[in-house]
């Protein structure tokens, strides 16, 4: 157990934020800002696309280290840091520059930072796998928003995680973790993940042919980064979450269901063997599950607004339309196949989403491409997964997805 866990916040937790400039990262900083006695950020990492924001965060939080993936952006970050320090009234002598780590391995190096108690991995994509493994190997608690690392390398991640070391950040999995406190594991019958249904809920497949990136990026209830927003529109995000739930909670795929809940207030549910269902409900605001993860197993007071019961509300629950949105069923199939199949599903999707957002692929082409790449993938899941086998499968899937998005699936 990490020092401070379960002590109701009486010990300050030292946190490393990977993906500090993104949607989850900036909301995590909101939580830290509001709770300086509970959390101190010792390191931040980003890709390098927003050097000024990264520098401003480093200065405000007083971090020990900053990691940037694009080596070419390191100088921009350094210059932005000096400019931010000057702007804040520091003279050169007063300001101590944080250690700057640069390059593709910088986030993994920071994930193993010796002064950290907890690492929040809020990077997007399976590039998060190496930092996930590094944080676990260093013995830090890992608050995992980067579901792709668990999807791509599930058995590698779970083999390295001590009980309680891995804490979910995704709102659905946070909800499940909270609901699971209501009974013993042997009393759980099934997990029910809720899905908002995304911007195209209710449309049939033939009504999805012409949707544009701008329409796909307009999520009805959640404000997220572009890849995860697009994944919500295709329901690939829900497919990834089914695989994530399988690895986090060690339940077979047949015991993990999905139900559409357009209001995104019930974040997921656990059904117990006696017929009782426990649900976690709160307005859609990622700051709550982020705070739950940062403070687990404690709660952060006033982390987000609760439901207002004084005004009327209706909650709907609808079955998922697997024909219009086949991504969840496909995820179950790759999950059941195991091996590198989930990594292939995720990597092919990352490439197909990039092609869609660039206007090179129609919306329906995203999941069609993933299905075609997964169908061609040879791994039957028999051999033990290694980091090398995941990387090789991903690189094959990316290449194949790009070939298909250029030529069109089936050619």
Ligand X SMILES: NC(=O)c1ccc[n+]([C@@H]2O[C@H](COP(=O)([O-])OP(=O)(O)OC[C@H]3O[C@@H](n4cnc5c(N)ncnc54)[C@H](OP(=O)(O)O)[C@@H]3O)[C@@H](O)[C@H]2O)c1
Given candidates 145, 260, 266, 292, which one binds ligand X under the rule CB under 6 A? 145
Instruction: Spell out, one character per residue from 154 to 173, where the chain touches ligand X: x when CB under 6 A holds, - when not.
Output: ----------------x---
| CA–CA distance, 124 with 170 (Å, rounded to integer) | 13
For the four alpha carbons of 72, 76, 79 and 85, in that order, the dihedral sign comes to: negative
User: Any contact of residue 112 with ligand X (CB under 6 A)?
Assistant: no
- As a whole number of angstroms, the distance between CA 217 and CA 219 comes to 6
The least CB distance from residue 336 to ligand X, in Å, is 22
Other CB atoms within 10 Å distance of the CB of residue 105:
14
- Per-position x/- string for 7-46, each x denoting binding to ligand X as judged by CB under 6 A, each - no binding: -----------xxxxxxxx-------------------xx
Is position 47 an interface residue for ligand X (rule: CB under 6 A)? yes
Q: Which of residues 60-99 bind ligand X (CB under 6 A)?
A: 69
With a CB cutoff of 8 Å and minimum separation 6, the contacts of 183 are 270, 272, 278
DSSP-derived secondary structure letter, 385: P
DSSP 71: G
Q: Applying CB under 6 A, which of residues 123, 136, 161, 355 lies at the interface with ligand X? A: 123
Kindly indicate which of the ranges 35-43, 139-147, 294-302, 340-348 contains the residues binding ligand X, using the contact rule CB under 6 A.
Answer: 139-147
Q: Which of 82, 222, 253, 272 touches ligand X (CB under 6 A)?
A: 222
User: Is residue 238 close enough to count as binding ligand X by CB under 6 A?
Assistant: no
User: Which residue, 223, 243, 291, 12, is CA-closest to 126?
Assistant: 243
Residue 119 or 404: the one with the smaller Cβ distance to ligand X is 119
HEC secondary structure over 216-280: HCCCCCCCCCHHHHHHHHHCHHHHHHHHHHHHHHCCCHHHEEEEECCCCCEEEEEEECCCCEEEE
Considering only residues 180 through 219, tell me which ones interact with ligand X, judged by CB under 6 A. none
Q: Which of 30, 49, 52, 60 binds ligand X (CB under 6 A)?
A: 49
Which residues contact ligand X by CB under 6 A?
18-25, 45-50, 69, 107, 122-124, 127, 145-148, 170, 222, 224-225, 228, 286
């Amino acid at each position: 157990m990490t020092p401070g866990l379960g002590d109701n916040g009486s010990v300050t937790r030292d946190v490393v934020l990977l993906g500090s400039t993104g949607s989850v990262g900036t909301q995590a900083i909101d939580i830290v800002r509001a709770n300086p006695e509970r959390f101190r950020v010792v390191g931040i990492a980003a890709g390098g696309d927003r050097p000024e924001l990264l520098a401003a965060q480093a200065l405000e939080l007083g971090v020990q280290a900053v990691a940037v993936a694009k080596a070419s952006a390191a100088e921009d970050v350094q210059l932005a840091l000096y400019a931010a320090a000057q702007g804040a009234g520091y003279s050169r002598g007063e300001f101590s520059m944080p250690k700057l780590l640069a390059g593709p391995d910088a986030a993994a190096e920071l994930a193993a930072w010796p002064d950290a108690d907890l690492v929040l991995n809020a990077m997007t994509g399976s590039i998060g796998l190496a930092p996930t493994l590094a944080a676990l190997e260093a013995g830090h608690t890992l608050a995992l928003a980067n579901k792709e690392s668990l999807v791509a390398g599930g058995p590698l991640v779970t083999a390295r995680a001590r009980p309680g070391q891995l804490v979910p950040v995704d709102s659905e999995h946070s909800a499940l973790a909270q609901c699971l406190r209501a009974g013993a594991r042997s009393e759980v019958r099934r997990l029910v993940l809720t899905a908002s249904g995304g911007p195209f809920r209710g449309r049939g497949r033939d009504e999805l042919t012409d949707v544009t990136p701008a329409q796909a990026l307009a999520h009805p209830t959640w404000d997220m980064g572009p890849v995860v927003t697009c994944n919500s529109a295709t329901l690939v995000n829900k497919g990834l979450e089914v695989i994530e739930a399988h690895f986090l909670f060690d339940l077979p795929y047949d015991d993990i269901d999905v139900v559409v809940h357009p209001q995104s207030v019930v974040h997921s549910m656990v059904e117990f063997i006696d017929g009782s269902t426990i649900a976690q409900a709160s307005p859609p605001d990622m700051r709550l599950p982020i705070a739950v993860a940062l403070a687990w197993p404690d709660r952060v007071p006033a982390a987000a607004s609760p439901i207002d019961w004084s005004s009327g509300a209706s909650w709907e629950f609808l079955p998922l339309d697997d024909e219009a949105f086949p991504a969840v069923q496909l995820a179950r199939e790759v999950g059941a196949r195991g091996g590198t199949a989930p990594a292939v599903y995720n990597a092919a999707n990352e490439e197909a989403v990039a092609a869609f957002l660039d206007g090179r692929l129609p919306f329906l082409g995203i999941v069609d491409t993933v299905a075609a790449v997964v169908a061609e993938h040879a791994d039957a899941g028999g051999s033990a997964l290694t980091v090398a086998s995941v990387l090789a499968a991903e690189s094959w899937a990316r290449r194949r997805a790009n070939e298909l998005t250029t030529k069109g699936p089936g050619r």
